[in-house]
A and B are shown apart, each in its own frame.
Chain A
Amino acid sequence: MDPVLDHAPCGYLSFVDDGKILDINKTLKEILGYGNEPFTQSHVEQLLTVSGRIFYNTHLFPLLRLHHKANEIFLTLIARDKTQVPVLVNASRRMHGEMFINECVFIPVMQRKKFEDELVNARRQAEEALKKNEALVALTAELEEKSLELDSKVASLLSLNQNLVEFNKIISHDFQEPIRKIEIFARRLAALAENPASDNELNRILASVQKLRLLTSTLHLYVELADEQVSGMVHLERLILSARDEVSTHLMFTDFDFTVENIVDIQGYERQLQLLFHHLIENSVLYRNENRRLHIHIRGVLVQENIYKSTINKYRYVDCLKIRYSDNGMGFDEMYNDYVFGLLKKIERKSPGLGMGLAVCKRVVENHSGSIKVSSQPGQGCSFDILLPVKLLQ
């Protein structure tokens, strides 16, 4: 090495891209505490503290590689006796013969460091104060706005809910009486009738009465779902299996494959969750593909999701159970993906059922602050993605 560089009043080091040291001057050896002892380190990372090595890998080396130079980098070197030597580094990279070499000069900054410590602290405090202040002002304004919004929403919800309660009362009580009367008189007429043609008509009236009964009781149940109060830990896997048995018995259909994987317990409304899976499984069975054996596969995975659904730029990630429920049934066109969750919505008018099942499912999931989506292909089957927070939000 040129004696001028060897004795220059700054440390000098050159290394190649894999970190191997090519050259080091006497000044740097002295800074590192190698007076007369032979310098044994062969790799640039060996001269750095652990955090310095991270910084070298994530910042200094990429900077050199991409921009061929890096200036005024602060690093901490490790001396021979393990003491730390804070330094400022200027580095550049150039072609030297066949390969690129990286050259650095080091200036120890023992005194400056104390001053800089103060600076860093002062700046951080200033930043924090500023941020807190800005955040506070913004939050206060937001809070004011939100509370107004909330107030008007609560008011309209209260009135809606009142309507709903009355509506439900009408359905469950006032409707029942005329229905009952129609049924009684139709039966009496049926008993009197001698003509088989009128017998047929009367039976159709009775069937319609049955359907009306079912409809009103399901609507009643649907509205009532919102009022559920009793929550607790739900053994979800057991609940799913019992929903399966329930559907199986009810529809007298047992010849299908059913697998449940990685379903963990969650906090929730047990009766509602039972309804959720009851309806999903019932749909799978009712709309199965007759040409092949029905498979229902339910698989869970724990993920973290943002629980804010409609507020923009609000984030709170909570643990959620993401359930993929899939079958290999008839499926439907994806244009119906949103339609199927509507009240009394059916794709096939002639199909069994009222078109209430998936509306109930959506309601149940929403009561748990979750979400449900479906994707389907005609002839292939349906897949539901259900997201349920592991803990109920208050």
Chain B
Amino acid sequence: MNVVIDSEVIARNAVRVFGNGHIPMMFAHGFGCDQNMWRFITPAFENDYKLVLFDYVGAGKSDLRAYHVSRYSNLNGYVQDVLDICKALALRDVVFVGHSVSAMIGALAAIKEPSYFSKLIMVGPSPCYINHPDGYFGGFEKKDVEELLETMDRNYIGWANFLAPAIMKNPDKPELVSELTESFCSTDPLIARKFAEATFFADNRHDLVKVQTPSLIMQCSEDIIAPYQVGEFLHRHLRKSTLRVLQATGHCPHMSAPEETIQVIKEYLASYSDISQN
């Protein structure tokens, strides 16, 4: 319940607001990335919406000084980031687009402050990544996640190497250099590890029933991180949810198949404006 000053939130989360519309549309990046990942999607909505992009504390260009392990050791801290931004910008009825773990972060935020959100668009969502003895299929065993943490640790050995060569070899492409500093590679390895733990050990299945906001579940084909059964589970437990299976494969349709992703989001939003007019 800590009080934060609104103007500080904007800098803290590297919030960017642009676009020509009035209805706010907020894009939340998933684990491993930052707001850059939305750049193939946002141009399609720029004319009709007020777009809000941000980095969670610990990612991208956010203010690392605002990172506190106790705040971000579970999803609550990330939920608070989203709510802080909505409050700072006085947003209401936001169309929230969340990738991967951000889909659940959006859902938890909408449970706490229903009036902030009008729709939840979930790209590759999962309420729980680990299989449970009660028969729930999340796609992973605990040991898989532990191995992931190890893979991450190992990749941060060559930490400096991640950044340096690309900057050195592309002096003629300054945009690439600036992008790199914005990229997820600049994430602190300890923060990235905590985010991975908060993400992959989360179990929010019991929260689904509390969500009142209508949602679109964008389920990719052959997505190892959020398999089809998980999308179906969400659809069964989220009231007012729509399930769309994309042709796009993998876990990042907004990067591998941006056209289809845009199309499906637009169709969903259009279906809602039809309903509200009738």
Contact = CB atoms under 8 A, between A and B. Distances in A.
Contacts of B141: 50
Nearest to B249: A18
B157 A61 contact: no
A69 B2 contact: no
A377 B70 CA distance: 38
Given A72-B162, A74-B155, A49 B147 contact: yes
Contacts of B224: 45, 50, 53-54, 57
Contact of A66 (B68, B112, B223, B255): B255
B151 A52 contact: yes
Interface in A52-108: 52-55, 57-59, 61-63, 65-69, 71-76
A308 B1 contact: yes
B47 interface: no
Contacts of A19: 222, 249-250
B70 A71 contact: no
Contacts of B117: none
A304 interface: yes
> Which among B141, B152, B250 has the highest number of chain A CB atoms within 10 Å?
B250
A50 B158 CA distance: 22
B184 A313 contact: no
Interface in A32-54: 43, 45, 49-54
B1 A307 contact: yes
A263 to B, nearest CB: 13
Interface in B104-141: 108, 111-112, 140-141
B242 interface: no
B144 A51 contact: yes
Nearest to B255: A65
A17 B256 contact: yes
B157 A63 contact: no
Interface stretch (B19-27, B73-81, B87-95): B73-81
Interface residues of B, number: 60
B231 interface: no
Contacts of B225: 53-54, 57-58
Contacts of A127: 190
Interface in A269-324: 301-309, 311-317, 322
A142 to B, nearest CB: 13
A306 B190 contact: no
Given A19-B249, A58-B225, A313 B2 contact: yes
Secondary structure at the B interface, as helix, strand, loop or mixed, is helix
A265 to B, nearest CB: 17
Nearest to A54: B148
Nearest to B124: A57
Given A18-B256, A58-B31, A74 B161 contact: no
B240 interface: no
Interface string B8-28: 000000000000000000000
B31 A306 contact: no
A308 B1 CA distance: 6
A112 to B, nearest CB: 10
A71 B150 contact: no
Contacts of B256: 17-18, 61, 65
Given A53-B224, A66-B37, A315 B151 contact: no
B183 interface: yes
Contact of A50 (B70, B144, B223): B144
The 6 closest A-B pairs by CB, nearest first: A58-B32, A51-B147, A57-B251, A51-B148, A72-B158, A315-B70
20 contacts: A50-B140, A55-B151, A55-B152, A57-B223, A58-B225, A62-B184, A62-B255, A63-B183, A66-B39, A66-B183, A67-B183, A68-B176, A71-B161, A71-B165, A72-B158, A116-B154, A120-B150, A303-B112, A313-B2, A315-B71
Interface of B: 1-2, 30-33, 36-37, 39, 68, 70-71, 74, 76-77, 80, 100, 108, 111-112, 140-141, 144-148, 150-155, 157-158, 161-162, 165-166, 176, 179-180, 183-185, 190, 200, 210, 222-225, 248-252, 255-257
Given A301-B210, A315-B71, 12 more contacts: A49-B147, A50-B144, A54-B148, A55-B152, A66-B37, A66-B39, A66-B179, A67-B166, A74-B154, A304-B76, A305-B1, A316-B70
